[in-house]
Structure 1
């Protein structure tokens, strides 16, 4: 064997021996170090215990996990308020509009270790009033919202933020009062937008449209309920001709209207009078103004 061949054989044996020794003794050297899972630290983020926003009464039931928040020692609502809470407030607005005699007591809460720097007797009352004010800015009627406050030992917080320290109690509506007010509202409706009949020149007859017929029906409904009600019909005229003849024409129109109402279910006492041309609502210098002055106006005394 030549010298060169012996040299190459020695190199090959060296490589094979080196590989064998590496695999036998050092194959685990590059494995990543493992940590016993028992010894591995576990990091957790504590979640605040939230108080849901709840509106629960006869005719309304709304819940959301979001709520109105306050900073510790502070009476002002934290803004912006979440969309889900504002949706609930809109539902409450619609509910109270449909139930004008319904009242809600808003109770605000504060913890005993909080400092009250407001004008209110305690921080809970102050928070309730700030919630009420926010509701009013959203279109709710303040007269339907009462407030009170309570001091408690603790409340759900995250750092210096209190979650939902407010509750809402739906008071029982006085249905008797509602029934009574229904008639007061009807009378107010009749007198605020009274039945007005317009007449052609020197005429005391008129054809009623749908709106006037509905107003006649409202008067009939009210007088059927209130037997002591008195219907007042006042006749008016434009200024064409002398005053005495216009006063007489206004009275004639009032009597015509009385006869019409009597034939259409108005069995109440009806009084008539005439103002003639003395109380115009239009410009007697124009054709349209004169037409608006030739009228009778019907109200409930």
Structure 2
């Protein structure tokens, strides 16, 4: 065998072995890539299943797959917020500044299994307030936001994170004409919120109607910068007057704390105590005493 032929056979063998190796590793590579692609698709599908960030109202329609997210049992917004959400926030800012009568209602959600350790009435409301605070920090007008909180049986989660437990509704603000504002104030004060209390206790069990009145007062105060709330505590005549003055003050403070929980600044709430000095019923009967143990909330 000549040396030339030997070299040619060596080259052919090298090509043959190289081809086998290429086919072997190429197939493995293709399978790995396919698996990686499948995984990527699965991740993408998971992202699509998240609750999207949606701002859909008059003059605006923005949506992205990212959202405001929260750790379970926590009301602090997870930061940093994604760039895609920030784009929507800036668009909303432009819209609100151009339309001062536009109100956005932020509804925060929490599950019934989560624990509420916040100062707010429920964890959903606290989450809505944290989103509102974030909006305000970005320069959005604070008077153009209302907040609500709802408790639901379940919410989509990724590990221990709730995916986008907030929604946004576009509502037009009532006319700010003085006549309309005066009418609202007069209606609220003509039928004020009155909370009744058991003896020596401050009651936290409010009715649906009482909750609605507090919500209405909160909305009015937030939309009327010069307005404030007056809370007056009363008692029956049982016991010493000094004790009843303190007890009525405690009741007024309870009402104040509840309004603060619903988004009203404490600096815009004034409390007073009348003790037993202004009864609305006779103190000689149990029924009359029950009517006198009250806190009256009006707008100044």
TM band (smaller chain): 0.3 to 0.5
- Comparing both structures, which one devotes a greater share of its residues to helix? 2
Q: Give the greater-gyration-radius structure (CA).
A: 1
Q: TM-score, normalised by structure 2?
A: 0.44
